[in-house]
Amino acid sequence: MEIAGILFTLAMALIVPVVFLSYLFVSEKAAGGRRRGTQTARSLPVFWLIPAAVVLGFFLIYPMIDTIVLSFMNADSTRFAGGENYAHLFSDRAFLIALRNNLLWIVFFTLVTVTLGLILAVLTDRVRYEAVAKAVLFLPASISLVAASVIWKFMYAFRPAGESQIGLVNAALSVVPGFQPQAWLFDVPFNNAALMVVGVWIWTGFALVIFSASLKGISKDLVEAARIDGAREITVFFRIVLPLMSKTVTVVVTYFVITVLKIFDIVYVMTNGNLDTEVLANRMYKEMFNFRNFGRASVIAVMLLVAVVPVVVMNMRKFARGKAGK
């Protein structure tokens, strides 16, 4: 039975692309194909865009519209509820906590990770084992957030004072005189910070790699000239290097803001949003599956969409400008 299931899965995985390719091949023949010197048939682009359009239409465009509609409906989407869900959420403590936590993540996580990434990019640029250092720091970005959460849940493991600690964080800090072991994931408000540390551990290497690439693009002559003029390293960095990297910094900050806005896995695995650590995506998941309230869950999704609209507009503008430049 198990083998049959696996074989069926593999067969499907082959059949779908084969069907897709045959469709493209046949549609080009049907559209008149291409003969020497003739124009491409007008209908070909239409045929070729249909598969992507169907997939994107069904999985992204239709659901977006439907989610907006559902946000104005009651829990099981049978009755129009007007702005009830919106009004309710903004008076709901759990939702407001989640909203606050997302803001905390956006501000503190982004600030720390970007700063650390920048510093490390500048530092590793000056040593010969740069590639090794970058690989080590980037490694956490390659594993799943779930695995990273298990790793850190263990790091934060807590035993009452007097017992031997099995979590590295408490064990290391017990060297400090007067330190009492902490249950990091349970102590409000430290637990939010403890979760953000996991994010910093995961994404610093990511920021580092991107900043490092941008740093390599800066002319060495420019930096050297400033040094000869007697500028201190700090001045060189803030006056010359950082301004030249500002575009990259914007890209990374934007990426982090969007990522953190939707952060889910770390909170789901480590605290499940208990003790004031919930974030919007976890709140939505609970509204969906624990409370079966699709109306309220949809409102949270709509909030997330509204928050990324500026980025959508920015990306579209950038693309339109790029096209005009060509």
- Residues 112-131 touching other proteins, rule: CB under 8 A, are 120, 123-124, 126-127
Residues within window 135-164 making contact with other proteins, judged by CB under 8 A: 135-147, 149-155, 157, 164
Candidates 308, 307, 306; CA nearest to 316 is: 308
What is the residue whose two structure tokens read 């290497």? 205
In the complex, what is the shortest distance from the CB of residue 243 to other proteins, in angstroms, rounded to a whole number? Answer: 20
Report H helices in the chain.
Answer: 2-30, 43-56, 62-70, 84-89, 93-104, 110-124, 130-138, 145-155, 168-173, 190-216, 220-228, 233-236, 242-244, 246-261, 265-270, 280-285, 294-325
Site string for other proteins, 190-219 (x = CB under 8 A): -----------x--xxx--xx--x------
**Element housing 100 (H / E):** helix 93-104
- What is the total count of residues that contact other proteins (CB under 8 A)? 110
Total residues found in the chain within this entry: 326
Task: Judge whether 54 and 60 are in contact, CB under 8 Å.
Answer: no
User: Taking a C-beta distance cutoff of 8 angstroms, is the pair 286, 52 a contact?
Assistant: no
90 binds other proteins per the rule CB under 8 A: no
Among 4, 42, 188, 230, binds other proteins (CB under 8 A): 42
Residues within window 241-270 making contact with other proteins, judged by CB under 8 A: 251-252, 255, 258-259, 261-262, 264-265, 268-269
| 277 lines the binding site for other proteins (CB under 8 A) | no
Chosen residue from 67, 75, 100, 231 binding other proteins by CB under 8 A: 67
Site for other proteins in 1-40 (CB under 8 A): 6, 9-10, 12-13, 16-17, 20-21, 24-25, 28, 33-36, 40
